Structure 1
Amino acid sequence: MKRRDFMQMSGMGIGAMMLPQIPVTGSSINELQLLEPWIDAAAKKKLTEVALNAAKSKGASYTDVRIGRYLQQYLFTREKQVQNIVNAESYGIGIRVIANGTWGFSATSDVTPDGIAKCAETAVAIAKANSKFQKEPVELAPQKGVGDKTWKTPIVKNAFEIPSREKIDLLMNVNGKAMENGASFVTSNLFFVNEQKYFASSDGSFIDQDIHRIWPTFTVTVTDKAAGKFKTRDAISSPMGMGYEYLDGIASEKIAGPNGLVGYRNSYDMVEDAIVAAKQAKEKMTAKSVQAGKYDLVLDPNHLGLTIHESVGHPTELDRVLGYEANYAGTSFATLDKWQSKNFAYGSKLVNIVADKTQAHTLGAVGFDDEGVPCKEWDIIKDGILVNYQAIRDQAKIIGEKESHGCCYADNWSSVQFQRMPNISLKPGSEKRSVMDMIKGVEKGIYIIGRGSYSIDQQRYNFQFGGQVFYEIKNGELAGMLDDVAYQSNTQEFWNSCTQLCDKDDYRTFGSFFDGKGQPGQVSAVSHGSSTTRFDGVNVINTGRKI
Structure 2
Amino acid sequence: MKRRDFVGLTGLGVGALFLPGLSFGGTTVDAAELLQPLDAALNKRMADAALNAAKAAGATYADVRIGRYLNQSIFAREKQVQNIVNGESFGAGVRVIANGTWGFAATNQVTEAGLAKAAQTAVQIAKANAKVQKEPVKLAPQKGYGEVSWKTPIQTNSFSVPVKDKVDLLLAANAAALDNGANFVNSALFQVNEQKYFASTDGSYIDQDVHRIWPTFGVTAIDRASGKFRTREALSAPMGLGYEYLVPKAADKIAGPSGTGLIGYKNSYDIIEDAKLGAQQAKAKITATSVTPGKYDLVLDPNHLGLTIHESIGHATELDRVLGYEANYAGTSFATLDWKKQNKPYGSKIVNIVADKTQPGSLGAVGYDDEGVKTKEWDIIKNGMLVDYQKIRDQAHIVGQNESDGCCYSQSWQDVQFQRMANISLRPGQQKMSVDDMIKDVDKGIYIAGRGSFSIDQQRYNFQFGGTVFYAIEKGKIAGQIEDVAYQANTQEFWNSCSAICDQSDYRLFGSFFDGKGQPSQVSAVSHGSSTTRFNGVNVINTARKV
TM bucket (normalised to shorter chain) is over 0.9
Q: Is structure 2 residue 482 aligned with structure 1 residue 482?
A: yes
Contact 1:374 1:406 in 2 (8 A): yes
Q: 1:392-471 residue pairs with structure 2 within 5 A? A: 392-471=392-471
> Structure 1 counterpart of 2:248, which letter?
G
Task: Determine helix, strand or coil for the equivalent of 1:43.
Answer: helix
> Structure 2 counterpart of 1:149, which letter?
V
CA distance in 2, matches of 1:406, 1:318: 13
> Structure 1 counterpart of 2:255, which letter?
A
Partner in structure 1 of residue 529 of structure 2: 529
Partner in structure 2 of residue 53 of structure 1: 52
Q: Is structure 2 residue 496 aligned with structure 1 residue 496?
A: yes
CA distance in 2, matches of 1:18, 1:503: 40
Q: Would the alpha carbon gap of residues 27 and 78 (structure 1) be closer, same or farther in structure 2, given more than 3 Å must change?
A: same
Contact 1:252 1:266 in 2 (8 A): no
Task: Determine helix, strand or coil for the equivalent of 1:512.
Answer: strand
CA distance in 2, matches of 1:326, 1:524: 19
Give per-residue Cα distances to partners, 1:160-185, cap 9 Å, x unaligned. 00111111101100101100000000
> Structure 2 counterpart of 1:356, which letter?
D
Q: 1:261-410 residue pairs with structure 2 within 5 A? A: 261-341=262-342, 343-410=343-410
> Structure 1 counterpart of 2:453, which letter?
S
Give per-residue Cα distances to partners, 1:33-88, cap 9 Å, x unaligned. 212332x2111111100000000000000000100100011111111121111111
> Structure 2 counterpart of 1:285, which letter?
I
Query: 1:344 Cα shift?
Result: 2.0
Give per-residue Cα distances to partners, 1:296-327, cap 9 Å, x unaligned. 00000000000000000001111111111111
Contact 2:299 2:439 in 1 (8 A): yes
CA distance in 1, matches of 2:234, 2:176: 14
CA distance in 1, matches of 2:466, 2:272: 25
CA distance in 2, matches of 1:51, 1:112: 10
Query: 1:517 Cα shift?
Result: 0.6
Contact 1:62 1:202 in 2 (8 A): yes
Equivalent residues, number = 530
Q: 1:129-140 residue pairs with structure 2 within 5 A? A: 129-140=128-139
CA distance in 1, matches of 2:462, 2:73: 35
CA distance in 1, matches of 2:112, 2:57: 16
Query: 1:370 Cα shift?
Result: 0.3
CA distance in 1, matches of 2:157, 2:250: 14
Contact 2:35 2:159 in 1 (8 A): yes
TM-score by length of 1: 0.96
Q: 1:211-290 residue pairs with structure 2 within 5 A? A: 211-249=210-248, 253-258=252-257, 259=259, 260-290=261-291
Query: 1:209 Cα shift?
Result: 0.2
Give per-residue Cα distances to partners, 1:456-494, cap 9 Å, x unaligned. 111111100011111111110111111000000000000
Task: Determine helix, strand or coil for the equivalent of 1:285.
Answer: helix
> Structure 1 counterpart of 2:220, which letter?
T
CA distance in 2, matches of 1:120, 1:467: 48
Query: 1:372 Cα shift?
Result: 0.4
Q: Is structure 2 residue 137 aligned with structure 1 residue 156?
A: no
> Structure 1 counterpart of 2:508, which letter?
R
CA distance in 2, matches of 1:441, 1:109: 60
Q: Would the alpha carbon gap of residues 120 and 18 (structure 1) be closer, same or farther in structure 2, given more than 3 Å must change?
A: closer
CA distance in 2, matches of 1:225, 1:251: 37
Task: Determine helix, strand or coil for the equivalent of 2:381.
Answer: strand
Partner in structure 2 of residue 210 of structure 1: 209
Q: Would the alpha carbon gap of residues 437 and 457 (structure 1) be closer, same or farther in structure 2, given more than 3 Å must change?
A: same
Contact 1:252 1:267 in 2 (8 A): no
Task: Determine helix, strand or coil for the equivalent of 1:232.
Answer: strand
CA distance in 1, matches of 2:249, 2:470: 31
Task: Determine helix, strand or coil for the equivalent of 2:360.
Answer: coil
Please say which of residues 191-200 and 242-251 is displaced more in the overlay: 242-251
CA distance in 1, matches of 2:222, 2:336: 47
CA distance in 2, matches of 1:197, 1:518: 21
Please say which of residues 154-163 and 75-84 is displaced more in the overlay: 75-84
Query: 1:423 Cα shift?
Result: 0.1
Give per-residue Cα distances to partners, 1:431-468, cap 9 Å, x unaligned. 00000000000000001010011111111111000111
Query: 1:264 Cα shift?
Result: 0.4
Give per-residue Cα distances to partners, 1:276-298, cap 9 Å, x unaligned. 10111111111111000000000
Q: Is structure 2 residue 75 aligned with structure 1 residue 107?
A: no
Task: Determine helix, strand or coil for the equivalent of 1:132.
Answer: coil
Task: List, as ranges, runs of 4+ consecutive aligned residues in structure 1 with deviation greater than 3 Å.
Answer: none
Contact 2:67 2:196 in 1 (8 A): yes
Query: 1:215 Cα shift?
Result: 0.4
Partner in structure 1 of residue 67 of structure 2: 68
CA distance in 1, matches of 2:121, 2:251: 50
Contact 2:17 2:83 in 1 (8 A): no
CA distance in 2, matches of 1:423, 1:310: 12
Query: 1:31 Cα shift?
Result: 1.2
Task: Determine helix, strand or coil for the equivalent of 2:20.
Answer: helix
Q: Is structure 2 residue 161 aligned with structure 1 residue 170?
A: no
Task: Determine helix, strand or coil for the equivalent of 1:167.
Answer: helix
Q: C-alpha root-mean-square deviation of aligned residues, in Å?
A: 1.2
CA distance in 1, matches of 2:355, 2:486: 27
Q: Is structure 2 residue 91 aligned with structure 1 residue 89?
A: no
CA distance in 2, matches of 1:468, 1:506: 19
Task: Determine helix, strand or coil for the equivalent of 1:145.
Answer: coil
Contact 2:37 2:195 in 1 (8 A): no
Query: 1:18 Cα shift?
Result: 7.3
Give per-residue Cα distances to partners, 1:487-522, cap 9 Å, x unaligned. 000000000000000000000010000001111111
> Structure 1 counterpart of 2:227, which letter?
G
Contact 1:373 1:406 in 2 (8 A): yes
> Structure 1 counterpart of 2:486, which letter?
A
TM-score by length of 2: 0.96
> Structure 2 counterpart of 1:475, which letter?
K
> Structure 2 counterpart of 1:202, which letter?
T
Partner in structure 2 of residue 13 of structure 1: none
Contact 2:45 2:112 in 1 (8 A): no
Contact 1:251 1:266 in 2 (8 A): no
CA distance in 1, matches of 2:203, 2:353: 33
Contact 1:370 1:410 in 2 (8 A): yes
Task: Determine helix, strand or coil for the equivalent of 2:481.
Answer: strand
Stretches of structure 1 that go unaligned for 5 or more consecutive residues are 1-15
Give per-residue Cα distances to partners, 1:201-250, cap 9 Å, x unaligned. 00000000000000000001001111111111111000000000000136
> Structure 1 counterpart of 2:457, which letter?
D
Please say which of residues 146-155 and 245-254 is displaced more in the overlay: 245-254
CA distance in 2, matches of 1:491, 1:256: 29
CA distance in 2, matches of 1:252, 1:245: 14
CA distance in 2, matches of 1:535, 1:486: 14
Q: Would the alpha carbon gap of residues 518 and 459 (structure 1) be closer, same or farther in structure 2, given more than 3 Å must change?
A: same
